[in-house]
Every structure is written in C-alpha cells, then in structure tokens.
Amino acid sequence: MTPNAWLQMALLIGTALLLVKPVGIYMARVYENQPVPGLGKVLGPVERGIYRVCGVSAQHQQNWKRYTVALLLFNLLGFMAVYFIQKWQGWLPLNPTHMSAVAPSALALNTAASFITNTNWQNYAGETTMSYCTQMTALTVQNFLSAATGLTVLVAFVRGLARKTTTELGSFWVDLTRSVLYILLPFSLALAAILIWQGVPQTLGKYPTVHVVQPFHQAGAPTTAASTTIATQTIAIGPVASQEAIKELGTNGGGFFNANSAHPFENPTGLTNFLEELAILLLPLAFCYTFGRMVGDARQGWAVLAAMVVLLLALMIPCVIAEQAGNPLLAHYCDQKPSVLQAGGNMVGKEARFGPVNSGIFAAVATGTSTGAVNSMLDSFTPLGGLCPLWLMQLSEVAPGGVGSGLYGMLMFVLITVFIAGLMIGRTPEYLGKKIEAFEMKMASIAILIPPSLVLVGTAMACVTAAGLAGIANPGAHGFSEILYAMTSQANNNGSAFAGLNGDSTFYNVIGALLMLAARFWTIIPTMAIAGSLAGKKIIPAGSGTLSTYSPLFVFILLAIIVVVIALTFFPALALGPIVEQLQMMTGRW
C-alpha cells in the first residue's frame, strides 16, 4: 500500500474514534430522556406535540412484548406505505420526470421489504424507476425509520442489561421519536448542507438536457442497424442530498441513482467520500460509548468497540492491498502501477477520483456496517478484494454493523462468549451482573444462526434452479460469487451487491424479500426476548470469580468465537467462489 493509502485510512478511523465519546455522550442523554442541550429548546415543543397527538406520554413504559408488537406494527405500516407509493407514483404529485407505477409487484415487494429492514437492496435503477415523490416520501422516510427502529431495539436491549427486576424497557414511541428528532434529523441536515456545497444536487426540477460539446454517432440495435447522432445529454438530478445524507448516517445505503455513491452527483469529491464514510461509521461506533455509559461502565463499551474496529481493519487493509495490486491478467496490456500521475491498480468499475484506495476503504466501511452503499462496482473487484466485503457481511454485520443492529448483534456474540468462557473456567456465566441462562442462550443462538442459515439455503436454492442461474452475469466461479454475495447481502440486511447479477426477476425479488424480512425481524424478536428476560433479573455484584468482560483477553476470545463460527459456516462456500477465482486469476488458467 502507498503511504497515502495508510494516511487516508488512519485519518478516517482516527476521526471516527475521536467522535465516539462526544457523540456517545450526546446519544446517552437522548435515551436517558434528559433535556438535549441546544436542540431541546427548539425541538422540545415539537416532541411534546407529537406525543399529545399520538396519545402517548413521555413517561410511558412498555414490557418487551408490547415494545416488540409496537415495533412490528410500525414497520408493517412502513412496508405498506412503500409498496403502495411505488404502485401509485404515476398519479401522485412530485413527478416531473413522469415515472409510471413500478410495474412488477415482486419488485415493489422486494423494495418495500428492503427499505423497511434497513437493507436497501435495489433491484431497480433509481433515476429510471422512482419518482421524486417515491424517493422522498417512501424511501427517504424509511431511511430514517429503519435506522431509528434499529436504535430502539438496541436501546431497549441496553436498558434490559442496565435495569434490574423490572419489566419496563422504555417506550417504543418515545425512543423512535427521540431517535429521529434529536439524532438522525439534525445530523442529516448538517451533512446534506456540506454535500450540496461540494456539488450534490438538491432540486425538485426536471432533468436538464444540454447540447453536448462533441455530438457522436451511435450504432443502432443490431436489428435496425441504423445509427443515430447523439447531440444532447439528459442529466438526471433531483432531491439527492437530503436522501444521500440519511442514506449514510442511517447505514441504509440505497442510492438515489443506479450507480450509488460512485455517481458523481452522490459523491463528487474526495471530501464527500470521506464524510460519507465517516457518517456511516459514526453512529454504530459511537453507540458503544452510549452503551458503556448506560450500563455504568465505559470500559464495557470500549471493549466491544475494540473488537469491531479490529475486525473492520483486518478486512479493510487486505481489500485495499488487493485492489491496488491490480489484475495480473491485464499486466501486459496496460500500466497499473500507482504513481504520482495515476492511482493505478484495478480500475475496472472504479472512479478516477477514488481509485483503488478509496474504493477499497469505502467497500469495507459499507459492508462492515450494514450500509450497502458502494462507490465502485464490487462485481469488478479482484476475487480477494471482493472476498473482504463478502466476509464483512457474513460476520453477521457486527464490524461495527448497522445503526443499532450492529451493536445488538455484537452483544449476542458477547453473550455466547461469556457462556463459553464460563464453561471453560467452570463459573456461572454472567454479563454485567446478569446471569446468562438457558433461555438467553437459546435466543442468542437463534439470533446468531438465522442469517447464516438464510444465506446458505438461499444460495443453494438459486444454484439448483434455472431461475436462479438465469441472473448470473459473469462466467465461472465468479458467477457463483455473485449469487453468494446477493444472498449474503440480503440475509444480513446489508444491501451491497455484485451488481452484475440480474436480481429483477420474480425468483430473486421474492426470495430476497423473504430473506430480508426474516433476517431483520427473526433476530429482533429473540433480541427483545433476551432484553425482557435480563431486565427481570437481579444484578449480582462482581466478585473475585467474575469474568472480566472488558479485558484484552476477553476481546480476543470474542473475536476468536466470531471468526470460528463464521469461518466454519462459510469456508466451503467461499472456497467455491472467490478463493478458487483468485487462484485462477493468479495462474491465468481456468
């Protein structure tokens, strides 16, 4: 790696870590229902007004079942709204580009499931499918609400750990409202303003059409063979910045345009690229500090955060190295060596302003979190470079994972680790003074095993059906990687894609929708059940026999358990896809 690559990586991770404590403290204030400095004055009346209209009180408390039912009900409404807005966009307002209804119902279903689950898998191209109305009132809304849903589950879970002998986990309505009002909205507004300054469009006007500098002949389709002269360029724009900001902050990842953050209007400069990466990492990392503060021991948060950052860097660095090394098959055709005059490396599907370094960093950040945004086409990565984002998703999105979902996913692994460590030293497993018993272990195992099972079953189904194989774009082992990547992405609620795979078929739309819904809600329900069970328990004071859950040793065991669970599950599949392709590429034979 070049010195600049190290510098950019260090700057990103360093800045994110510097922000963990201040943002973490801020979020703790939000969820401990304390007045929020500054914003509280302006938004306090709005918040109280919302509760009055909704018929809830700020002191309202729910047990885990009611909290979960409220969450499911709220998400069901979101699902229906996204589905029907797509179906009705033809006659809804705010449609200057005259988009008609999203015709295939399976596609509308997939998109609805995708956006409510914080996945943002996209089997459509934004600029040719969705009206401004749909982008704003369906997709942008769910970018906020799916992220807020993740935060509510996490904050309820943390309360379950922090509180004792109670059924009260807080109020879903209050937690959701405060997440949106005090965290997601103000941060998005600030980020959107900077993005616009750097060149991201924000307008409700129609697509401009310009007369190009050099008109050119375009050969017609093979059947007509008539060539046409292209003298104009129609440039898709829209309310991009407002969606772009929450797309990153909420670890959503669904692009306004088909090319996502590779599109110069979503991500025009090195600075916007840095800020987008930072926004993706900000809330998942900072909540570790919020967690530590809410359970009364900041070290617990830092320990979990350390595990997350180690995993992220362990896959980010090889990704950048692989992409910067370039493709040996092109070695005697062109110059791939990085120099002061060029970024070099594997430039297929990458933007000149990002090159392999920023593309690799972004790919790792977006898949380590459940963001799924891309600033380069991952399908064209080298096999090893593509393996890194694939693996980051297969880690069940805990490095550091999505907003809310990453930390509660990681805490499931922590419970498993505490249990296994307890067995090894012959002590009752405890975490933060709470006894971890059979019920918690069953639920944690379900939450951890569901995504990998969905990935493998989905991949197997696609590989043995004609409908599944029909979507493949690239021949050989890479075609298998495309399927594995698609199933991994949807069954971990990421949304990143090897975009060559044609997912807009009834088969992929329906199976994808089912995977996304199952992965999201079948992990939320056991997580909430554990929260309810833990909240009812006493807190046992730590004694000399208590296992420390913030020591480097514990972090190491936690990492080992994550890697072992995931490696054993996925190694055979990875061997058939990216690993064999890397060997083929290096030897030049297949």
Task: Give the shortest CB-589-to-another protein separation in angstroms.
Answer: 10
Task: Give the shortest CB-338-to-another protein separation in angstroms.
Answer: 9
Work out the angle between the directed axes of helices 506-535 and 141-162 (0-180°, nearest 10): 30
- Judged by beta carbon, residue 100 or residue 234, the one nearer another protein is 234
Residue pair 358/270 in contact (Cβ under 8 Å)? The answer is yes
Report the distance separating Cα 313 and Cα 25, nearest Å.
25
- Judged by beta carbon, residue 8 or residue 300, the one nearer another protein is 8
213 burial level (CB within 10 Å; 0-12, 13-18, 19+): exposed
Task: Give the shortest CB-78-to-another protein separation in angstroms.
Answer: 7
- Judged by beta carbon, residue 21 or residue 435, the one nearer another protein is 435
For residue 352, give every residue at least 6 positions away whose Cβ sits within 8 Å of its Cβ, in sequence order, or none. Answer: 343
Residue pair 458/487 in contact (Cβ under 8 Å)? The answer is yes
Task: Give the shortest CB-2-to-another protein separation in angstroms.
Answer: 11
Report the distance separating Cα 119 and Cα 394, nearest Å.
14
Residues β-bridged to residue 211: 232
Task: Give the shortest CB-289-to-another protein separation in angstroms.
Answer: 26
- DSSP assignment of 32-49: TTPPPTTHHHHHHHHHHH
- Judged by beta carbon, residue 141 or residue 315, the one nearer another protein is 141
List C-alpha distances in Å: 590 to 322, 571, 581: 20, 21, 8
Helix (H) or strand (E) holding 583: helix 580-587
For residue 295, give every residue at least 6 positions away whose Cβ sits within 8 Å of its Cβ, in sequence order, or none. Answer: 158, 161, 162, 432
Question: Would you state the structure tokens that stand for residue 561, as one six-digit string?
Answer: 């358990």
Q: Which residue has the tokens 């996502």?
A: 260
Task: Give the shortest CB-178-to-another protein separation in angstroms.
Answer: 12
Among residues 123, 128, 125, which one has the least CA distance to residue 99?
128
Task: Give the shortest CB-476-to-another protein separation in angstroms.
Answer: 6
- Judged by beta carbon, residue 324 or residue 569, the one nearer another protein is 324
Task: Give the shortest CB-49-to-another protein separation in angstroms.
Answer: 9
Report the distance separating Cα 389 and Cα 460, nearest Å.
20
Four-point Cα dihedral 73, 74, 77, 79, nearest 10: -100
Question: Would you state the structure tokens that stand for residue 532, as one six-digit string?
Answer: 């309810």
Task: Give the shortest CB-292-to-another protein separation in angstroms.
Answer: 25
Task: Give the shortest CB-576-to-another protein separation in angstroms.
Answer: 14
Q: Which residue has the tokens 């997912």?
A: 503
Task: Give the shortest CB-377-to-another protein separation in angstroms.
Answer: 4
Residue pair 358/394 in contact (Cβ under 8 Å)? The answer is no
548 phi and psi angles, rounded to 5 deg: -70, 130
**Quick one: DSSP state of residue 531?**
H
Question: Would you state the structure tokens that stand for residue 163, as one six-digit string?
Answer: 């509180």
Question: Would you state the structure tokens that stand for residue 43, as one six-digit string?
Answer: 């938004």
- Judged by beta carbon, residue 497 or residue 555, the one nearer another protein is 497
- Judged by beta carbon, residue 13 or residue 308, the one nearer another protein is 13
- Judged by beta carbon, residue 228 or residue 568, the one nearer another protein is 228
